[in-house]
Structure 1
Amino acid sequence: MNEIHVLMTLAGIHFLALMSPGPDFALVVQNSTRYGRQTGILIAFGLSIGILTHSILSLTGVSYLVHLHPQLFFVVQLLGGSYLAYLGISGLKSLLMRAKGAPVSTPKSKDFTLKSKKQAFTRGFTTNLLNPKALVFFISLMSTLVPQSMSLEGKFAALFILWSLAFFWFALLAWALSTQRLQSALARYSSYIDLVCCILFTILGCTIIGEAVLHTLT
């Protein structure tokens, strides 16, 4: 298989994975519908940089070394699962307080809302980078489809494809969800969208933590 076919196959598999529901998808949906296009695109950029980082770490073998050592991978799982669970539980607390008519931010609770452009980018980047399932996916993808014998230009092309497709898809999703017509239609359902996304984050986070703990006990 020549490099062009490798890159085309890589692009196809990666794009299909991007379209599948997960924490990245939920993050864009939740924040684009609530905060608008600019925030959604900044989150998309953060997610794409996270994907680029995973791709580089997998291509250089760093991710494989982490996955090879159970203790290191356990730490990654705990960090990633805890972060996703934190997003979900913080969001559920804020929704509950909003439903009661109480102020969302109190001295005893942290607000999960986004307050700046930098925070939007950081949340996208962190959500993807700390996802241990993304780490495993890119190890499998890069080790299977990008041989060590591939030229340096081919490897750079692979990294560009993975980054650009991710940014294109999530930015397109953010743009579509933040059009004026769709924003008006979704405005009445924003709390329900938040609820579904927060539940998803909580379930995914707790599942990752549970899998990590069970694996260490077996």
Structure 2
Amino acid sequence: MNEVNVLLTLASVHFIALMSPGPDFALVVQNSTRYGRQTGIAIAFGLSIGILIHSILSLTGISYLVHSHPTLFLLLQLMGGSYLAYLGLTGIKSIIQSIRKSSQDKKPGKDFTLNSKKQAFTRGLTTNLLNPKALVFFVSLMSTLVPASMSVEGKVAALVILWSLSLFWFALLAWALSTKRLQLVLARVAIYIDVICCLLFSILGTAILWQAVTQLLTN
């Protein structure tokens, strides 16, 4: 398989993975719906930088060392699972507080959790970097599709493709969810989107923590 075919296959597999529901997808949906386009795009940029870092670490073999070293990978699982669970639980707590305030004041509850583009970027970057499933995915993707003999130019092209596709997809999603017409519709169901996304974060985080604790107890 020549390098062009490798890059096309890499792009196809990665783009399909991007569209699958997960913490990155949920983060963009939740915050683009609640805070609008600029916040959603800032999160998209943070997620794409996280993906770029994962890709570089996988190409250089650093991610493989982490994945193959039980203690390091366990530490990443504990950190990542705790962070996702924290996002979910604090989000649910904020939703409850917002509902209570709305019922008491008879006014819409105040937005919560993100107050700036920098904070949105950091949230996106951290969510992707601390996701152990992302590390496993990129280790598998790079080791399977990118041969060690691939030229430096080809590897750089692979990094650019993975980063640009990630930014394109998440920014497109943020843009689509923040159009004026759709915002009017989503405003009525924003609280339900928040609940679903927070539950997803909580479930994924708890599942990762459970897997890590189970591995720790069995070893």
TM-score, normalised to structure 1, is 0.95
Equivalent residue letter for 2:145: L
Q: By how many angstroms is 1:99 displaced?
A: 1.4
Provide the identity percentage: 75
Equivalent residue letter for 2:173: L
Is 2:76 aligned against 1:76? yes
SS in 2 for 1:149: coil
Q: Please list every run of 5 or more consecutive structure 2 residues that lacks an aligned counterpart in the other structure.
A: 103-110
**Pairwise CA RMSD of aligned residues?**
1.2
> 1:213 & 1:115 partners in 2: Cα distance?
34
> 1:92 & 1:21 partners in 2: Cα distance?
19
Deviating above 3 A after TM superposition, structure 1's stretches of 4 or more consecutive aligned residues are none
Are 1:90 and 1:112, in contact at CA under 8 Å, matched by a contact in 2? no
Query: In the alignment, which residue of structure 2 is the partner of 1:108?
Result: none
Equivalent residue letter for 2:181: R
Q: By how many angstroms is 1:100 displaced?
A: 1.4
Note the 1:166-205 alignment, pairs <5 A.
166-205=166-205
SS in 2 for 1:21: coil
Range with greater deviation from structure 2 (68-77 or 112-121):
112-121
> 1:116 & 1:94 partners in 2: Cα distance?
17
Query: In the alignment, which residue of structure 2 is the partner of 1:162?
Result: 162
Query: In the alignment, which residue of structure 1 is the partner of 2:42?
Result: 42
> 2:194 & 2:55 partners in 1: Cα distance?
30
> 1:116 & 1:43 partners in 2: Cα distance?
11
SS in 1 for 2:139: helix
Equivalent residue letter for 2:154: G
Query: In the alignment, which residue of structure 2 is the partner of 1:26?
Result: 26
> 2:175 & 2:13 partners in 1: Cα distance?
23
Is 2:192 aligned against 1:206? no
Q: By how many angstroms is 1:98 displaced?
A: 1.2
Q: By how many angstroms is 1:101 displaced?
A: 1.4
Q: By how many angstroms is 1:112 displaced?
A: 5.5
Note the 1:66-105 alignment, pairs <5 A.
66-101=66-101
Equivalent residue letter for 1:26: A
**What number of residue pairs does the alignment pair up?**
211
Q: Please list every run of 5 or more consecutive structure 1 residues that lacks an aligned counterpart in the other structure.
A: 103-110
Note the 1:101-140 alignment, pairs <5 A.
101=101, 113-140=113-140
> 1:43 & 1:95 partners in 2: Cα distance?
20
Equivalent residue letter for 1:155: K
Q: By how many angstroms is 1:210 displaced?
A: 0.3
> 1:31 & 1:97 partners in 2: Cα distance?
18
TM-score, normalised to structure 2, is 0.94
